[in-house]
Chains A and B, each alone.
Chain A
């Protein structure tokens, strides 16, 4: 039965759109405060070194310099750059706390090229830069290591004390792997390599901090996790949370980079020292070269299959390049295993999280899924073809199904309640012309091919207790204010949440104003990551809105004398439940509740939602490519992305997520890479050499939205934000194979690499 909705499923304009097209929206970089200082970071010229001495006297003596801080000045408190709360962080691949919390604000040792060594605050940029030059540092250079295989060697330099051969290793087992392989008719093995990727948010990472005479700290930051930032400031700098306010204004991109602790603590500490506001804004070069990146990985997959195509066992060995600090690495690496959308009774996953002297790898849209989806979907494409089976039917035969227990491999007994992958595959195959015969091209230097890849992703964190809360105030004119801690990064969560609130309360969408991501005013939320906003945040909004609706009905009943059980709300009205006949406008009820009721009340409700599961969304991307055999150029002719999102709260926003993530996936597959020299210095820290797709590189993406209606989701919604990047590289790789008959197992598929593979074969 399809219910008639008033707000859900409508492509309303985004609530922040007018501010953004007029230039009115204020981003962190747009914040200018009286007496605001410029913050700058001194960075290490070595990838691995001890700081033997550091002298800041000359820098401090320079006119206009208001603060200089080194490791000797900052509190010696360790923290995790991942930002997760202590109680929940050891949950995934069990990692001792000393590795999870391995970062000092500034340290007497540097572990990657460009790591902060000191920071200054000065009256202007020029003075700040001069001050950096005046800081005298004596380094003792140490041997450094950058590649995971080098780092695993017996004599490799130790990046972190106590980690034997720089590695944290853990194995997760399901069933009996040996039994699984012994039941197989064939065993296939493949190895894959993936490169790092940089988020390249268009607004560089920026913080602005000010300290009031009372000691109250206000921080504006390009963050996805205001509450995690507030907690970390509180823990590291020893400030009570009542004295720390974190605000995420309009933000120029997130994609996981800003799920990390960035430079917020340094900025606050500079402001505390200087006694003046400080803006700390990274340059584009700093942002590309020295901030967190997607984990480079080396993946081995071994799969046992029966003649009929049934998978009997899967063994995966992964080495991820963690960089210099642990951060998100255990979670990202584990997540590679928990998002495998196939029934594999016997499985073994070995995670090798390897430290190197590179900036720490961390969260990036997809969180381990793009790497593993690439490897797995290329591997399965090969198996299907070698078994002589249709790759679509082979996938469907082994795919998880509604009723299957726990496909996410969590410590939980939930079962899969919604899965629209078959509809995604059928519709996608039709749109790309999967079963149509290949046509020979007139131009013999070019060949075409089609491929697809499937991914599954969570709707919320699957590694920690996931939790959101929301608050709704009903104004006395019947309009409402929704307060939620979840930051809108531009993906449109404020708009989606307003639609859920409107539908649930029976108020018009236009009558709802959203304020999000201000720790002093909005209600607690983990943050904007793990594709959690629509599902976890949305469920919290729905619960708060239901409470408001109950209040509206309570006061409408007092007003009209109609029993509560006979009343409902919709589209701005209190109506008769049974026939939806209009009874009284909600605006009049809201006014009555405040001014005329026997027991006046300002209707102001809040609710919390704890996600017991994080039901997966599913996607398949189909690609048709044309490969130029003479240049190695891979041109995408057609791109079809079919997504099971549960329910599209706002279809235009859903399409935007699909198209945008496909673009990042295409960049990851074809052009984006981080090239380091032998000293660990990034050689391509700019948009000329780090190649993000431009308008002329992007094909038109045909989005197919499948609604499987997740029973536990708000109006059936699951997630869409992160998943879309994961199938892209595998789909493109399989299409290249279909075109040229060569499997390229190492990302990215640059012209040089494709051409060299063609020439080799």
Chain B
């Protein structure tokens, strides 16, 4: 089945199995391995990407659902060699340990700020409540998002 969609500003037109999951399309077809898989059941948020300005678990989205959609992955955050301010803030605040949850965390945070540029701490915590992190205890991740939200 031919499906047209956009990833990180680039147009794609692929002939693919409509039952493929978005995460498999990103990783296996497009080589965008920045998006990680943590559980395959939509419980951990590790595979979060942004689809039409909303954070989604890419393990729960099927190929047929991405027709005409615009998808943003962690690889699309950097613009012209310049890191996104969320990426900078995550680094500066020590919000990264093993880093496996980081792409999903960044995308949930990005989606939040796209829709609500001045979130409260509670809104930040709620926005990433679906993203599990086993390393950091979330404190530094929340601080990193807060720092950007203030701007």
Contact = CB atoms under 8 A, between A and B. Distances in A.
Interface of A: 11, 13-14, 16-27, 29-30, 32, 199-204, 250-255, 283-284, 489-492, 652-653, 655-656, 659-664, 686-688, 692-696, 698, 700-701
Contact of A22 (B44, B87, B97): B87
A660 B137 contact: yes
A655 B129 CA distance: 22
Given A21-B106, A252-B98, A659-B140, A692 B132 contact: yes
In this complex, which of B32, B37, B135, B141 has the most chain A Cβ atoms within 10 angstroms of its Cβ? B135
B8 to A, nearest CB: 11
Contact of B134 (A200, A688, A695): A200
11 contacts: A17-B90, A20-B99, A22-B74, A202-B98, A250-B98, A252-B99, A253-B135, A653-B94, A655-B94, A686-B41, A698-B137
A202 to B, nearest CB: 4
B96 A21 contact: yes
Given A21-B90, A283-B40, A695-B129, A656 B134 contact: no
Contacts of B120: none
A203 B38 contact: yes
A694 B105 CA distance: 12
B88 to A, nearest CB: 8
A467 to B, nearest CB: 25
B87 A21 contact: yes
Contacts of A200: 132, 134
Given A20-B99, A23-B34, A492-B97, 16 more contacts: A21-B74, A32-B28, A203-B100, A250-B99, A284-B40, A656-B94, A659-B137, A660-B134, A663-B138, A687-B43, A687-B132, A693-B137, A695-B131, A696-B126, A698-B137, A701-B137
Contacts of B133: 202, 695
B134 A25 contact: no
A16 B141 CA distance: 17
Interface string B74-95: 1101100001000100111110
Nearest to B127: A695
B52 to A, nearest CB: 20
B39 interface: yes
Contacts of A251: 98
B6 interface: no
Nearest to B98: A490
Nearest to B75: A23
Interface of B: 27-28, 32-41, 43-44, 46, 73-75, 77-78, 83, 87, 90-94, 96-103, 106, 124-126, 128-142
Contacts of A250: 98-100
B91 to A, nearest CB: 4
Contacts of A22: 34, 74-75, 77-78, 83, 87
A283 B133 CA distance: 18
B138 A698 contact: yes
Nearest to B27: A30
Contacts of B139: 659, 698, 700-701
A202 B38 contact: yes
Contacts of B130: 694
A653 B93 CA distance: 10
A576 to B, nearest CB: 36
Interface of A is mostly: loop
Contacts of A655: 94, 140
A163 to B, nearest CB: 34
A198 to B, nearest CB: 10
A656 B33 contact: no
A630 to B, nearest CB: 24
A664 B140 CA distance: 15
A490 B38 contact: no
B96 A284 contact: no
Contact of A489 (B28, B37, B94, B98): B98
Contacts of B96: 14, 17, 20-21, 490
A695 B141 CA distance: 9
A254 B98 CA distance: 9
Contacts of A688: 43
A24 to B, nearest CB: 7
A202 B141 contact: no
Nearest to A252: B100
Contact of A656 (B74, B97, B100): B97
Contacts of B131: 695
A202 B136 contact: no
Nearest to A641: B137
Given A255-B134, A659-B139, A18 B40 contact: no
Contacts of B124: 695
A553 to B, nearest CB: 35
Contacts of B126: 695-696
B89 to A, nearest CB: 9
Contacts of B94: 11, 14, 652-653, 655-656
A13 B99 CA distance: 14
In this complex, which of A11, A20, A30, A696 has the most chain B Cβ atoms within 10 angstroms of its Cβ? A20
B128 A253 contact: no
Nearest to B103: A23
A202 B104 CA distance: 11
The 7 closest A-B pairs by CB, nearest first: A23-B34, A252-B100, A490-B98, A20-B99, A663-B137, A659-B137, A687-B43
Contacts of B35: 23
A17 B39 CA distance: 24
Nearest to B139: A659
A660 B91 contact: no
Contacts of B125: 695-696
A305 to B, nearest CB: 36
Contacts of B44: 202, 284, 687
B34 A695 contact: no
Nearest to B87: A21
A732 to B, nearest CB: 15
B91 A13 contact: yes
Nearest to B106: A21
Contacts of A692: 132, 134
B90 to A, nearest CB: 5
A253 B100 contact: yes
Nearest to B131: A695
Nearest to A657: B97
Contact of A695 (B92, B106, B128): B128
A24 B78 CA distance: 11
B37 to A, nearest CB: 7
B142 A695 contact: yes
A257 to B, nearest CB: 11
Contacts of A695: 124-126, 128-129, 131, 133, 138, 141-142
In this complex, which of B41, B98, B137, B140 has the most chain A Cβ atoms within 10 angstroms of its Cβ? B137
B39 A687 contact: yes
Contact of B36 (A21, A24, A27, A32): A27
Contacts of A700: 139
Contacts of B100: 27, 201-203, 250, 252-253, 490
Contacts of A253: 98, 100, 134-135
A692 B46 CA distance: 14
A680 to B, nearest CB: 23
Contact of B99 (A25, A29, A199, A656): A25
B140 A656 contact: yes
In this complex, which of B93, B124, B139 has the most chain A Cβ atoms within 10 angstroms of its Cβ? B139
Nearest to B142: A695
Given A202-B134, A660-B135, A284 B73 contact: no
B113 to A, nearest CB: 15
A18 B99 CA distance: 10
